[in-house]
Structure 1
Amino acid sequence: MTSMPSTDPRTVVVRYVTAVAEGDLATVVASFAEDATWTYPGDLPLSRVWRGRSAIIDDFLGGVGSLFAPDGAPQVTLTNCLADGDQVVAEWTAVGTAANGRRYDNLCLGIFTVRDGLITAVREYTDTQHVERSLFGGAESPEPAAPVSW
């Protein structure tokens, strides 16, 4: 007898992030409700509310892949996950090599809403300045200022 996947919100999010890390596209797709939304912050080409499973999977997540070198896809590691009811806060790292050769090493946080075993909304928080510099070729960070001596 095949068991049904758990609909517990924390389990759903852990399963989703693990599927991303393992490249399990079928599980990634199956994790989202048809009318899910993903809000990505900032003023980058990726910044907006992505509406619908197809837009999230094909356009947003699929589009991000093209920003990385062929052998530089980001390695995703779940570092923390907290749940309260249908809200789950997940923190993960993503480390890879951008198509432009720059190192991508970012800490990300998502607030997931899970209903009936499916992700219905994600609000992601990340260092968008790092995303702009590493993935979109923005200016490198300036040298840190000399410490102030009192």
Structure 2
Amino acid sequence: MTSTENNKAIVADFFATFSKGDVPSVIERLHEDGSWWVSGSIAGMSGTYSKGELAGLLDGARALYREGALQINPTSMTAEGDRVAVEAKSFATMEDGRVYANSYHFLLTVRDGKVTTVREYMDTIHARETFFGF
């Protein structure tokens, strides 16, 4: 397997684990100095999260979903060097019955067999309306 194919497999596993709501396993797949950045200017959502901060955010978010997790389904991946670009769709039924379904572009870097950085681009208006009601 080439390094780019290996990186794509690592990213596919990362999102499959994320979609199960298994926060400890997601954090385990994130490099020790890993981070996750979310686009936009939504207070409480946008910004950069360290590995520890991400664990808290994901643990808190699990309670919002009937299924206990946000499903992120990659629809395409392109890899070059240590970077993997992912187009994806999400789905979750919120506890109040509303549906959250967003479209994403993620840019991830992989090092030492783990995800080092995640850059998340999405429809921030849909996210803000769903999670914060405005």
Q: TM-score category by the smaller chain?
A: 0.7 to 0.9
Equivalent in 56, 65, 75 of residue 79 of structure 1: 75
Q: Which has the higher contact order (CA 8 A, sep 6+)?
A: 2
> 1:37 and 2:17 equivalent?
no
Runs of 4 or more, structure 1, over 6 Å off, are none
Match of 1:66 in 2: 63
Query: In the alignment, what sits opposite 1:9?
Result: 7
Distance 1:24-1:101 versus aligned 2 partners, 3 A rule? closer
Q: Which runs of 5+ in 1 are unaligned?
A: 1-6, 139-150
1:107 aligns with 103
What is the Cα deviation at residue 39 of structure 1? 0.7
Name 2:45's counterpart in structure 1: 46
Shift of 1:71: 4.3
Distance 1:65 1:26 in 2: 12
Task: Calculate percent identity across the aligned residue pairs.
Answer: 32
Q: Is the 8 A contact 2:21 2:70 kept in 1?
A: no
Cα distance in 1, alignment partners of residues 29 and 69 from structure 2: 21
The structure with the greater share of residues assigned to helix is 2
Q: CA deviation at 1:74?
A: 3.0
Over the aligned positions, Cα root-mean-square deviation in angstroms equals 2.1
Q: Describe the shift of the 1:136–1:35 C-alpha distance in structure 2 as closer, same or farther (beyond 3 A).
A: same
- Structure 1's 72 and 34: CA in aligned 2 closer, same or farther, altered over 3 A? closer
1:18 paired residue among 16, 19, 43: 16
| Structure 1 counterpart SS, 2:10 | helix
Is the 1:83–1:89 contact (alpha carbons within 8 Å) kept by the matching residues of 2? yes
Once residues 113 and 67 of structure 1 are traced to their aligned partners in structure 2, the CA distance between those partners, rounded to angstroms, is: 28
* Distance in 1, Cα, partners of 2:19 & 2:96: 22
Q: 1:124 aligns with which of 109, 120, 123?
A: 120
Q: Quote how far apart the aligned CAs of 1:17 are.
A: 0.9
Q: Which moved more, 1:113-122 or 1:7-16?
A: 7-16
